[in-house]
Amino acid sequence: MKMLRRLMLLYGLLVFAWLSPEDNLVWPPVVLGLGLVLLLVIRWVMKTLRGRALAPREILLGAPLFGLLIGLGTSISAAGLMFFKNALHAHIFLDFPPLLMLAILERAPAWGLAGALAGLGLAFGWLVLHNLDHEQTHNSHL
């Protein structure tokens, strides 16, 4: 939990550094949005589990669900960060026009699907590695 707090502080510093300069690059708010959602999901999972190990079935069901949430949340948080930077700078010519923010929000279903598939892939990878480790441990006792 201590490491997660440090990561959250580092994330806050990165957002603060990104908010200051004038730029209209799309990738920084998307990456920062992904970071925000990842930190929030990890924090929620750690608080919910409180050190309890998950069964393989829970991982196979939960990883795609969390991937879906992370993908959807990335789109929403990236658009929110863009809006916040626009509001903070308060120019006539916005750093991120409304149509760009809308385009990011339109990607939410695709990013949600990509997150779910990535979560499923990670769950299958974990399951394979977990089974290999279990087999090696089992075979070494024979």
pLDDT in tens, 57-116: 889 999 999 999 999 999 999 999 999 999 988 878 888 999 999 999 999 999 999 999
pTM assigned to the model: 0.86
Which candidate, 18, 52, 58, 48, places its Cα nearest to that of 36? 18
Question: How far apart are alpha carbons 109 and 62 in whole angstroms?
Answer: 18
pLDDT of res. 116: 97
Question: How far apart are alpha carbons 60 and 1 in whole angstroms?
Answer: 24
